Structure 1
Amino acid sequence: MQITASTVSLTVDDLAASQRFFTTHLGYVEQAAAEGFASLSRDDGAVDVVLLARGTEVLPADQRNQRATGLILAFTVTDVADEEKRLRASGVEITMPLREEPWGERLFQVTDPNGVIVQFVEWATGTEHA
């Protein structure tokens, strides 16, 4: 098997709000969209994001009313402190301020309008662990 791309699908209540958040603040662009669906990507190594409206018929019946909860969408970035400043300056609420963990991870979190937690990580040791 050869994996050629990675995508995370997130089921949300307000698809348009998450789509605006990802395109406005996180640099994603819409690749495709239809009723209850949006596919977003970036030109770099970030995972693609598919947003699905909760209740959409394309989902199996047992998944239609679930929401994107209990997960953290984490991005390893360069200069995490500058990224936190940029997002804060653009009006994004920082839901977990920048901190450094004992194992060398520097990170902070934001939360999109549907409760999707997005974490930005940089390894303080200079060695990429992710």
Structure 2
Amino acid sequence: MNSITKYVTMVLLGFLLANSIYGQTSKNRNKMKLNAGIITEKFAETKKFYTEILGFGITFENEFYLLLHTPDRSSEISFLLPNHPSQQPLFHQPFKGQGMYLTIEVDDVDALYQQLKKKGVEIKIEMRNEPWGDRHFAIQDPNGIGIDLVKYAPQE
């Protein structure tokens, strides 16, 4: 094997090895799934709000934990009672109602806006169009969490 052939072989082997390592790392990253959790004393009110107002379904529920999913099952959110003996102290303190928001992207923000108004849900930020093209409005859940309901503008 001449030196050029050896060099090309080494470059190709290096490329294949790097691609194999990168491919594994990339695959592992794709397995990550986020589930936001809120510790709340307002367990019943929260369940009612998300299921009856926003149409979420119940994935799992017991006396201290509630896992809900969006109507299309693409995302989940969980709620936990504070100070539950089954949980470590890190998960005991309840959310204090500030410094958090959720964004829910919907296909038809105008229809959802009308549905929520008919249900008597208080609209905290009226329907508006943003200069960058998004159309949205906001409500608040029983825990004080602002929920931005938005139809994103297509990116050009």
Q: How does the TM-score come out when normalised to structure 1?
A: 0.84
Per the TM alignment, residue 42 of structure 1 is displaced from its structure 2 partner at its CA by 3.2
Residue 129 of structure 2 corresponds to residue 100 of structure 1: yes
Residue 51 of structure 2 corresponds to residue 23 of structure 1: yes
Alignment of 1:43-82 (within 5 A): 43-44=71-72, 46-67=74-95, 69-82=98-111
Tell which deviates more after alignment, 58-67 or 29-38.
58-67
- Higher strand fraction (1 or 2): 1
RMSD of Structure 2 on Structure 1 (CA): 2.2
Percentage identity across paired residues of the two chains: 24
Deviation digits for residues 22-41 of structure 1 (CA, Å, limit 9, x no counterpart): 00011111122112211111
Q: After the TM superposition, which parts of structure 1 deviate over 6 Å for at least 4 consecutive aligned residues?
A: none
Per the TM alignment, residue 5 of structure 1 is displaced from its structure 2 partner at its CA by 4.3
Per the TM alignment, residue 106 of structure 1 is displaced from its structure 2 partner at its CA by 1.2
The separation in 2 between residues aligned to 1:111 and 1:52, in whole angstroms, is 18
Structure 1: give runs of 5+ residues left out of the alignment. Answer: none
Instruction: Look up the SS of the partner of 1:51 in the other structure.
Output: strand
Structure 2: give runs of 5+ residues left out of the alignment. Answer: 1-27
Residue equivalent to 2:115: 86
Counterpart amino acid of 2:89? A
CA contact (8 A) 2:104 2:150 kept: yes
Deviation digits for residues 55-114 of structure 1 (CA, Å, limit 9, x no counterpart): 223443144113063121111111212111111101111111111121111111111112
Counterpart amino acid of 2:60? A
User: Quick check: which has more Rg, 1 or 2?
Assistant: 2
Q: How does the TM-score come out when normalised to structure 2?
A: 0.71
